[in-house]
Amino acid sequence: MKFLKHLLWITLSASFLISGCQPAPVESTPEILKPTATPLPTATTTPTLEPTPAPTITPLPLVPNFSHIVIIIFENKEFGTVIGNRDMPYFNLLASTYTLLSEHYAPTHPSLPNYLALIGGDTFNITDDCDYSDCFINAPSLPDLIEKSGRTWKTYQDDMPQPCFTGNTLRYVRKHNPFIFFDPIRLNEKRCNQSIVPLTQMDGDIALNDLPNFIFITPDICYSAHDCTLDLADNWLKEQIGKLYPALDASGEPFLIILTWDEGQGNHSCCGLPEEAGGRVATVLISPQVRPNFQDNTPYTHYSILKTISEAWGLPYLGHAADENTTLITAPWR
The per-residue pLDDT for 50 is 66
Q: State the Cα–Cα distance between residues 130 and 149, nearest whole angstrom.
A: 31
| Between 292 and 132, the higher pLDDT residue | 292
**92: amino acid identity, one letter:** N
pLDDT class of 12 with cuts at 50, 70, 90: very low
Confidence tier at 60 by pLDDT (50, 70, 90): confident
pLDDT for res 333: 98
Residue 43 has pLDDT above 90, yes or no: no
Residue 279 has a pLDDT of 98
Percent of residues, the chain, with pLDDT higher than 90: 81
Render pLDDT for 237-287 as a digit per residue (tens, 0 to 9): 999 999 999 999 999 999 999 999 999 999 999 999 999 999 999 999 999
pLDDT of residue 130: 96
- Is the per-residue pLDDT at 112 higher than 80? yes
Q: Is the pLDDT of residue 39 over 60?
A: no
Question: Taking residues 169-185, what's their average pLDDT?
Answer: 98
Instruction: Read off the pLDDT band of 44 (50, 70, 90).
Output: low
Q: Among candidates 128, 122, 120, which has minimal Cα distance to 185?
A: 120
Structure confidence by residue, pLDDT tens digits, 84-106: 999 999 999 999 999 999 999 99
What does the pLDDT read at residue 263? 98
Q: Give the distance from CA 100 to its chain's centroid.
A: 18
Q: Residue 219's pLDDT is what?
A: 98
pLDDT beyond 50 at 295: yes
Question: Do 327 and 333 contact (CB within 8 A), yes or no?
Answer: no
Domains of the chain: 70-322 (3.40.720.10)
Mean pLDDT of the chain: 89
Which stretches within the chain are classed as H helix? 2-20, 79-82, 89-97, 111-120, 142-148, 183-186, 189-195, 201-207, 230-249, 302-313
Give the bridge partners for 73, in sequence order. Answer: 260
Q: What's the pLDDT score for residue 1?
A: 41
Q: Is it the case that residue 37 has pLDDT exceeding 60?
A: no
pLDDT at 52 over 90: no
The beta strand positions in the chain, using DSSP E, are 68-74, 99-105, 153-157, 196-198, 214-218, 255-261, 280-286, 294-296, 300-301
How many helices, marked H, and strands, marked E, lie in the chain? 10, 9
Q: How confident is the model at residue 31 (pLDDT cuts 50, 70, 90)?
A: very low
Amino acid 59: pLDDT = 75
Question: Per-residue pLDDT averaged across 17-41, rounded?
Answer: 42
pLDDT value at 195 more than 70: yes
pLDDT of residue 11: 41
What would you measure as the largest C-alpha separation in the chain, in angstroms? 176
Q: How confident is the model at residue 15 (pLDDT cuts 50, 70, 90)?
A: very low
